[in-house]
Amino acid sequence: MATITVKRPKLTFLEKLFIPTLIKGLRLTLSHGVRSLRGKAEGKEQLAAGHLGVTMQYPEQKWDSHLPEYYRGAPALVTDELGRERCVSCQLCEFICPPKAIKIIPQEIPADSEWAKVEKKPQAFDIDMIRCIYCGMCEEVCPEQAIYLRKDYAITGTSREEMVHDKDKLYEIGGQRIGLVNKWNDLK
């Protein structure tokens, strides 16, 4: 088999120190602070409730309506227009997930099913939300457009088991997505 050795990128001395990156992050946070103080931040009406105009009264007030399109919340599975599970259980997300939060057990779709030609779906799909770092790698790697990071950020539970999102929960959060590429159509 062809073996390809991938080289890690060489870091410069400054990069190895991590300090410049740290400063970059601090600068971003500060700039948001300054924006809020000048009353230019998103959700300024709600922020105004605080004395300085920089504090939101969570949980009475929430960021939800101000979250940008690219916000990365909890990862979730989606179904297509016809209610088909988009995930075919290829396990690429399981492979790429940096903290190993995803666990999938694949299954064959029975021959009498309407979607028998897709052949494969997940039998179990668990994401451990204690492990998940909301990096979005799973969404990026998915070849079937089946997993998306939604805007849910307040993931709570009173036990470790509760913090594991199973397949039902993931579809509940994810819901239906329309307008995606549908490669399992009749032409296929």
Partner 1 sequence: MSDTEATKQLPKDLAASEGKVNVQIDGVWHQFPKGTRMIEACKQVKVEVPHYCYHPKLSSPGNCRMCLVQMGMPPRPAPGQDPVFEDDGYQPIGWMPRPVIACANTVAENMGIRTTGPLVEEVRNGVMEFLLINHPLDCPICDQAGECRLQEFSVEHGRGTSRFVENKVKKPKNVDIGPRIRLDDERCIMCSRCIRFMDEVADDPVLGFTDRGTHTTLTIHPDRRLDHNYSLNTADICPVGALTSNDFRFKQRVWFLKETKTIDTNCGTGINVTVGARSNKILRVQPRENNDVNSSWIPDSHRLSFHTIIDEARLTDAMVMENGKHQTATVANAIQRAATELAKFKGEQIAIIASGRMTNEELFMVSRLRDALGATHCDIVPRTGESDNMLISADRNPNTEGAKKVLGISKPGSSLKTIKSGLASDKIKALVILQEDLTADAGFTQNDIQHASLIVSSHILANPTAEVSHILLPGASSFEKRGSMINVTGRLQRLNQAVQPNGNATDDWELLRDLTNAVGGGNGLYLIEDVFKSMASEVAEFNDLSLGKIGDQGIQLYETGIEIPLLTRERKRAENGEIVG
Token pair of 34, please?
């300054």
Pick from ligand SF4, partner 1, none: which does 137 bind, CB < 5 to 8 A by kind?
ligand SF4
Candidates 11-19, 149-157, 161-169, 180-188; binding stretch for partner 1 (CB under 8 A): 180-188
CA separation for the pair 16, 52 (Å, rounded): 38
Question: What count of other Cβ atoms lies within 10 Å of the Cβ of residue 88?
Answer: 19
Taking residues 119 to 158 in sequence order and writing x for each that binds partner 1 by CB under 8 A, - otherwise, the string is: xx----------------------xx--------------
95 near partner 1, rule: CB under 8 A:
yes
First to last CA, the chain: 30
CA separation for the pair 120, 92 (Å, rounded): 14
Q: How far is the CB of 38 from ligand SF4 (least distance, A)?
A: 33
- Residues forming a β-bridge with 105: 124
In the list 76, 78, 109, 138, the residue contacting ligand SF4 (rule: CB under 6 A) is: 138
CA separation for the pair 22, 14 (Å, rounded): 11
137 near ligand SF4, rule: CB under 6 A:
yes
Nearer to partner 1, 36 or 94 (CB): 94
Candidates 25-33, 65-73, 104-112, 159-167; binding stretch for partner 1 (CB under 8 A): 104-112
Nearer to ligand SF4, 47 or 101 (CB): 101
Q: Which helix (H) or strand (E) holds 102?
A: strand 102-108
78 near ligand SF4, rule: CB under 6 A:
no
CA separation for the pair 138, 146 (Å, rounded): 9
47 near ligand SF4, rule: CB under 6 A:
no
Q: How far is the CB of 98 from ligand SF4 (least distance, A)?
A: 6
Angle (CA) 76-92-127 rounded to 5° is 35
Nearer to partner 1, 93 or 149 (CB): 93
Token pair of 67, please?
């979250």
Token pair of 146, please?
């089946």
CA separation for the pair 162, 168 (Å, rounded): 13
- Residues that bind partner 1 in the complex, under the rule CB under 8 A: 1-2, 88-92, 94-95, 106-108, 116-120, 143-144, 183, 187-188
